[in-house]
Structure 1
Amino acid sequence: MPAKSAIMLTVESRHSGETYVQKVEGTLYRKENAVYLRYAETDEAMGNTMTTVRIDPQELKIIRHGEVESDQTFAVGRRLPGNYRTPFVSMQLETHTQLIHADVTGATGTLQWNYDLYFDGDFSGDYKIKMSYQEVQSE
């Protein structure tokens, strides 16, 4: 399996009874014990933002760079700090993760995690995220 592959990625986010789905082109990298999924956000609210998801055996980390700057770390059973910044607002956040399931070893893969989100110490809601990808074969 190549160290870097083009992928089609589907991101499904559930929160407060709403489901948001985005389908994007991205890149999958494999480096040491981690797998990275990288893609440009398509949601207008995110502006020009690049998202990187790092999956390793101990935790999951999401880093955003661009108009939205944020980092979130997820580890089952732990409440971990992060941050969220836009040109208009800056907030501390925390995630408390109940579930992480990753199957990212092949040309297709899935990643799922459930967590509670806190902004500046206040409960914001529970989230269920599912990502699935398929490698794109080059012509």
Structure 2
Amino acid sequence: MNKPIKRRLRLTFQTNIELQGELDSYEFSTEGELYHKGTQDYLRFTETFGVDKNVQTTMKWDGEELTLIRQGDVLMRQTFVQNKETLGRYVTTEASWETKAETEVVLVQWPTIQKPRGRIYIRYRFWLAGQETGSHEVRLKLEEADD
């Protein structure tokens, strides 16, 4: 059995959310790991919210579905499939809600030896507990980390 090869990446994560003409944005940079297991690719990194809230984030890609999995102070699982509606779940210590995404675009380009930069782009409309939260654009810029 071969152990999956892990590659360190630097990444910039940017989200833009538009709801009723209002735009909300946030961005952060961190390092993560990209590895292949079975027929799927995994990108894993840590998100920090506020002063002391950390969430381990995994993006799983099988060539068609991109699944976002967050574990830590927030639990979330949401799959994105281009031109499809998908259901998910968002959980905090206070409550658990169903989520829904209507995904317009999913683009995944991993860095390669020939092209050391990659990207992930998702554009979707999102609902939390039946309430629309707006149109979301998520962009990740990926780059091979120097050892």
Q: Which runs of 4+ in 1 moved over 6 A?
A: none
Q: Which has the higher strand share?
A: 2
Between Structure 1 and Structure 2, whose CA radius of gyration is higher? 2
- Give the TM-score normalised by structure 1: 0.90
Equivalent position of 2:141 in the other structure: 132
Aligned positions of 1:16-95 closer than 5 A: 16=18, 17-44=23-50, 47-95=53-101
What CA RMSD, in Å, does the superposition of the two structures yield over aligned residues?
1.7
Q: What is the one-letter code of the residue matched to 1:6?
A: R
The count of residues paired between Structure 1 and Structure 2 equals: 137
Deviations 1:32-86 (A, max 9, x none): 3322111111222881210000122111000011111110000011111100011
Q: Sequence identity of aligned pairs in percent?
A: 28
- Give the TM-score normalised by structure 2: 0.86
How far apart are residue 123 of structure 1 and its match? 1.6
Separation in 2 of the partners of 1:123 and 1:65? 23
How far apart are residue 89 of structure 1 and its match? 2.4
Q: Which runs of 5+ in 2 are unaligned?
A: none
Deviations 1:6-53 (A, max 9, x none): 111110100122221110111111223322111111222881210000
Q: Which runs of 5+ in 1 are unaligned?
A: none
How far apart are residue 105 of structure 1 and its match? 4.8
Deviates more, 1:68-77 or 1:32-41: 32-41
Equivalent pair of 1:24/1:42 in contact (CA under 8 Å): no
Aligned pair 1:100/2:95, yes or no? no
Q: 1:121 aligns with which of 106, 126, 130?
A: 130
